[in-house]
Amino acid sequence: MQQAADITVVVTSCNRYDLLARTLDSFRAQETEGRVARILVAEDGDADPTAVCARFGAEHFRTMERVGQIKLIDQAYARVQTPFIFHLEDDWEFYRPGFMEKSRALLERDPKILLVQLRAWNDTGGHPLSHTAPDNSFGVMATGYCDCWHGFTFNPGLRRLSDYRLLGGSYEKQPRTMYVIAKTPTAALPFEVEASAFYHRLGYRAFILDEGGYVRHTGADRHVRSAADSSPDLIGLPRNALCPCGSGRKIKHCHGELTS
């Protein structure tokens, strides 16, 4: 008996349609579970992805002005009605099948599994694993990486709509509680780390599928800059700690003011 389609694929996009086409093409080729209800492309700005979306059976909406990744995600997730979200950006390539059904099996096994990452174990940006299955079929992302990261990510992966709603239905409106200086700050990074800390406090853990991975990043040299990318990004240190810039002032009265 055919099972219900209960996954919305949300793809964030910003006028990189060669990459978007590559992403959607590889996803369609490698997604073998067959329970995707819809693919929703969220376009940050007034560029028009209609042609690419039509090729791959995707819907889309446009913000008509640049709002940034986090507002874009919140707007897209507000349009989701299925219990599962497969989060995706426009610059990834899938190279192996089976990821959706394996991810679902893990999420259904334990309600405290927050999401399931799909990158290879040697391609996690240095984030270590704390545990692995005896057959290496999955691993658990370590908590406390760089003193602030517990495995939450906007990289491709399956997650629950209900867990997103625990945030009040908004990544953007999370309170800023932690600060560190990032080597390559992006506007989305503070919100990603805050979400990681929020779920960690609730006892959630992030998992990752087997060490060979299922997806690779294709847009590292095609980052679409945001005005907030160049500002100091402080996430991880307490607000009352001395600012790492050396001013002698507390973070909340120094660089923390720029990102609070």
Determine phi and psi for 131, rounding to 5 degrees: -145, 155
Cα(199)–Cα(90) distance, rounded to whole angstroms? 25
The 8-class DSSP code of residue 97 comes to S
Percent of the chain, pLDDT > 90?
71
Instruction: State residue 193's pLDDT score.
Output: 85
Alpha carbons within 13 A on the beta-carbon side of 214: 27
Q: Chain centroid to CA 202: how far? A: 19
Q: Which residue has the tokens 């096994």?
A: 109
Residue scoring higher pLDDT (222 or 41): 41
Q: What's the pTM?
A: 0.87
R_g of the chain, CA atoms, integer Å: 18
Domains by residue range for the chain, with CATH: 7-174+202-223 (3.90.550.10)
Q: What is the arithmetic mean of pLDDT over 181-195?
A: 74
